Amino acid sequence: MAREGVHEIEIKRSRFRCALAPVTSEAAAREFIAARRRADPGARHHCHAFVLGPDGRTQRSSDDGEPAGTAGTPMLEVLRRRELTDTVAVVTRYFGGVLLGAGGLIRAYGQSVSDALEVVGVLEHRRLSLVEVSVSYDRAGRLENDLRASPYLLHATRFDELARFEIGLAPGEAGAFHGWLADLTNGEAATTGLGDHWITRGS
């Protein structure tokens, strides 16, 4: 998760308010869940899901009174599908008087988390191979524009006697990247490998 945030949707007069937060322990996740209960004491349900650990091994969810499997499980599935970890989601439901049925609840709780993630944003941690590309200044402007439009991650820029760009490459991308770069710069770009690093990106 990039930050804490709340996003609400309405489905057939029921309001589904999803609160998201970055957490690093089960205790922190449960404190956030408890805080959401205190913030919305009049709500009928406070369903939750969280995933913890670098490998996402710790996974918990609760339907909090909704029919079994209709709330916490679809919420958890959204977190897993997005490959998120160290994240807690709490969906507070205000019942609008119209029964949604099991299928409707599953879709509503899943959509609530999915929509909230799009609004609040996430941080992506990837292990990439960093390559420094050095070019003369007369090629720097076009290269930077082309890098930003390319599928490759422009991680950092530095300007001294040459223009230097740090590029993050995923496994299997190096060959295609070097060919692309050679074509773009007529072979005039110099590259230096900087090793593998964990890179964080926000969205």
How does the average pLDDT of the chain come out, rounded?
89
User: How would CATH label the architecture of 5-121?
Assistant: 2-Layer Sandwich (3.30)
**Are 78 and 113 contacting, i.e. CB atoms less than 8 angstroms apart?**
yes
**Average pLDDT of the residues in 184-201:** 83
pLDDT band at 131 (very low <50, low <70, confident <90, very high): very high
Does residue 140 have a pLDDT over 60? yes
Asked if pLDDT for residue 1 goes beyond 70, the answer is no
Take residue 137 and report the two structure tokens written for it. Answer: 């200044």
How far apart are the C-alpha atoms of 129 and 122, rounded to whole Å? Answer: 22
User: pLDDT, tens digit, for every residue of 79-104?
Assistant: 999 888 899 999 999 988 778 899 99
pLDDT at 98: 79
Is residue 98 helix, strand or coil? Answer: coil
Question: Where does the chain hold its CATH 3.30.70.240 domain(s)?
Answer: 124-202
- The listed range with the strongest mean pLDDT (70-74, 155-159, 170-174, 194-198) is 70-74
**Residue 203 pLDDT > 60:** no
Q: What is the mean pLDDT of residues 10-32?
A: 93
**Taking the model in full, what pTM does it have?**
0.64
Q: Which helix or strand (DSSP H or E) is residue 117 part of? A: helix 101-120
CATH 3.30.230.30 segments of the chain:
5-121
The confidence score (pLDDT) of residue 123 equals 62
pLDDT attached to residue 153: 87
Most confident of the ranges 89-93, 115-119, 167-171, 197-201: 89-93
Residue 145 parent element (H or E): helix 137-149
| Beta carbons of 19 and 136 less than 8 angstroms apart | no
CA dihedral (50, 51, 52, 54) in degrees, to 10, reads: -160
Span 124-202: which CATH code?
A: 3.30.70.240
